Amino acid sequence: MKIAVCIKRVPDSETRVKIASNGKSLDEPGVKFVLNPYDEFAVEEALQRKETAGAGEVAVVCLGPAAAQETIRTALAMGADRGVLLQTDVVPADGYVTAQALAAELKGGGWDLILFGKMAIDDYNQQVGPMVAELLGLPCVTAVAHLEIDGSKGVAEREIEGGIEVVEFPLPAVITADKGLNEPRYPALKGIMAAKKKPLEVKPVQLGAGAIEVVALTPPPERKEGKIVGEGPGAVPELVRLLREEAKVL
Amino acid sequence: MSAILAVCEQRDGTLRKISHEVVTGARRIAETVEAVVCAAGPVQGADQLGRFGADKVVTLTNAAFAKYNPEGCAHAIAERVKAGGYAAVVFAASATGKDLAPRVAAKLGVGLAADCTDIAADGGTIVATRPVYAGKALLKVKVATKPAVLSLRPNVFTPVERPKAGVAETVAVNVPVGRVVVREIKAAEAGALDVAEAQIVVSGGRGLKEPANFKVLEDLARAFGGQAAVGASRAVVDAGWRAHADQVGQTGKTVSPTLYVAVGISGAIQHLAGMRTSKVIVAINKDKDAPIFKIADYGVVGDLFEVVPRLTEEIKKLHG
């Protein structure tokens, strides 16, 4: 099986967000960057599929700054075979621009599967996977929490409101991974050592500006200072009164 | 601003309520709103969209639309947009909308402003606000794509009645045979509300001590008379106590209910990411220093096994 996994370098979810002096982006110094958690499910799925097939290749493709080589090395340490960095200083706010660059790299690659995380936890754009599928003319299933593949046929399950959608699709296909798809492995020391020697190709890319422009990045509105209504069950009648009369939600 | 296309949803031939939010959101940026829904036949409830400001309600019909048909719906909507000269196309950031909106945007050759919590028209340009970095920041973007493609976070755009004609039109459409086919929908437990859609969410964390104790939260949810769903923190989902479908947080669902009750949840940043846009937050926790109290509107410090049953009793009295 020949599988591509598109990954992203994102700030760790526990990062304290400080806004840069331009008022439009994250102040990066001191921020810890990690492999996007949803992409870990995608990498793991690719590795398991290749292991089950007994042969094949897992390539990771990342659009990002030079420092994203480290993110690619994480995926290589998990077991991916090679990496490609589409190097750009700025990851565009317009997801379609990112999708075009990834599609151009993946086109004609003879992939059986192209995997993504269902979204990146920094910009919450949740669109690049299905857009790449459209650009490549491939079938796509998003937010997949369970996947079975038999030859050139796949069955995926995705969570919807109040149920689970069971979806059939043919391969080759684009799949975006949700939590629950698998349990991502931690890179072992042996994997980390091996990753240093695996091929990582850096390709500078020139991206269009796109038509979605950042106006401002701001802290969320402070929630009004809350109050401790009281201690123990005795505080409940007052809580209910406040919910009715002050908050007017009951 | 010229007309906006509001993409509505149906399941089993009944309009989904989230469609009211989509039309309400679309009306914020334009006078003229056309609602569109893909279905196999007539959609029950579609005639109500005029109440929320739809000038016209168009049902695009095809036998293949009985269940969600990602490729067929994307094709039909993109064709409608290309022919109609709309300034914007608005989706719900629901499970279906999150899947459909990027497909349509790509067919139109534009990006998507996803999961917006506010949209406005600034002269001829649409400005959208979206939570990013786990809700720790808001990103305001100018959407200069033609058309603008937007999706709206559920439960944020409270439906507003602004009656319009709501003229109904049915158009039979041809679509290519889909490769991606929804074979079935395994329904969740009968009557169970989804945490992403419920008006009230009662969530439990590690403070519940063991899976069976979620019964106290289920009792509370029931006391609210069918409007409440039971959610869970990542810790208890990872421990296998609750299903992932119930998880609220960065790697679970994002919810914006009218009332969110966090029980025995300390308030890790990844949990707050999923619920900080709730209208009113109540925290019940025995640790008075738990971070959840920092964002809660009302807190009760105490043993949840004493506080929650008492709350259930009081709520039952109200709904008596």
> Which residue, A115, A223, A220, is CA-closest to B132?
A220
Q: Are B29 and B154 part of one and the same domain?
A: yes
Structure tokens at A223: 């929630």
Q: Residue A41 has what pLDDT? A: 98
Whether the CB of A243 is below 8 Å from some CB of chain B: the reply is yes
Domains of chain A (ranges; CATH) run 2-204 (3.40.50.620), 220-250 (no CATH)
Structure tokens at A51: 């292991």
Q: Are B165 and B204 part of one and the same domain?
A: no
At B172-189, the pLDDT tens digits run 999 999 999 999 999 876
Q: Are B220 and B74 part of one and the same domain?
A: no
> Which residue, B2, B256, B17, is CA-closest to B115?
B256
Nearest to A168 among B181, B187, B299 (CB): B181
Q: Are B209 and B148 part of one and the same domain?
A: no
Do B251 and A250 lie within an 8 Å CB cutoff?
A: no
ipTM of the complex as predicted: 0.95
pLDDT higher for A191 or A13?
A191
Average pLDDT of chain B to the nearest whole number: 94
**Contact (CB, 8 A) for A155 and A189:** no
State the Cα angle at A17 between A11 and A22, rounded to 5°. 100
Strand partners, B261: B202, B282
Do A232 and B302 lie within an 8 Å CB cutoff?
A: yes
CATH number at residue B223: 3.40.50.1220
Structure tokens at A168: 């059939």
Give residues 121 to 140 of A whose Cβ lies within 8 Å of B.
121-131, 133-135, 139-140
Burial of B286 (0-12, 13-18, 19+ CB in 10 A): middle
Q: Residue A170 has what pLDDT? A: 98
Structure tokens at B241: 């106590």
| Structural domain harbouring B122 | 4-172
pLDDT in tens, chain B (320 residues): 789 999 999 999 999 999 999 999 999 999 999 999 999 999 999 999 999 999 999 999 999 999 999 999 999 999 999 999 999 999 999 999 999 999 999 999 999 999 999 999 988 899 999 999 988 899 999 999 999 999 999 999 999 999 999 999 999 999 999 999 999 999 876 567 889 889 999 999 999 999 999 999 999 999 998 889 999 999 999 999 999 889 999 888 989 999 999 999 999 988 998 999 899 999 999 999 999 999 999 999 999 999 999 999 999 998 86
Q: Are B91 and B219 part of one and the same domain?
A: no
Question: What's the gap between Cα B279 and its chain centre?
Answer: 14
Whether the CB of A32 is below 8 Å from some CB of chain B: the reply is no
Whether the CB of A33 is below 8 Å from some CB of chain B: the reply is no
**Contact (CB, 8 A) for B52 and B46:** no
Do B186 and A227 lie within an 8 Å CB cutoff?
A: no
Assigned domain for B193 exists: no
Assigned domain for B189 exists: no
Assigned domain for B182 exists: no
Nearest to A210 among B106, B111, B187 (CB): B111
Burial of B236 (0-12, 13-18, 19+ CB in 10 A): buried
Q: Are B216 and B158 part of one and the same domain?
A: no
Whether the CB of B120 is below 8 Å from some CB of chain A: the reply is no
Strand partners, B181: A168
Q: Are B216 and B153 part of one and the same domain?
A: no
Assigned domain for B184 exists: no
Assigned domain for B186 exists: no
Q: Are B167 and B209 part of one and the same domain?
A: no
Instruction: Name which of B136, B146, B183, B266 to mutate to probe chain A: the one with the most chain A Cβ atoms within 10 A of its Cβ.
Output: B136
**Contact (CB, 8 A) for B213 and B239:** no
Beta strand pairing call for B181-187 and A163-170: antiparallel
State the Cα angle at B111 between B105 and B112, rounded to 5°. 75
Q: Are B146 and B291 part of one and the same domain?
A: no
Q: Are B149 and B214 part of one and the same domain?
A: no
**Contact (CB, 8 A) for A160 and B100:** no
Q: Are B9 and B158 part of one and the same domain?
A: yes
pTM: 0.92
Assigned domain for B146 exists: yes
Assigned domain for B194 exists: no
Instruction: Name which of B141, B230, B313 to mutate to probe chain A: the one with the most chain A Cβ atoms within 10 A of its Cβ.
Output: B141
At A190-236, the pLDDT tens digits run 999 999 999 999 999 999 889 999 999 999 888 887 899 999 999 99
Q: Residue B124 has what pLDDT? A: 84
**Contact (CB, 8 A) for A1 and A54:** no
Beta strand pairing call for B167-172 and A212-218: unpaired
Helices (H), A92-235: 95-106, 128-136, 189-195
How many domains in chain B?
2
Give residues 259 to 288 of B whose Cβ lies within 8 Å of A.
259, 269-270, 273, 276, 279-283, 288
Q: Are B214 and B294 part of one and the same domain?
A: yes
Structure tokens at B230: 């039971």
Assigned domain for B140 exists: yes
CATH number at residue B75: 3.40.50.620
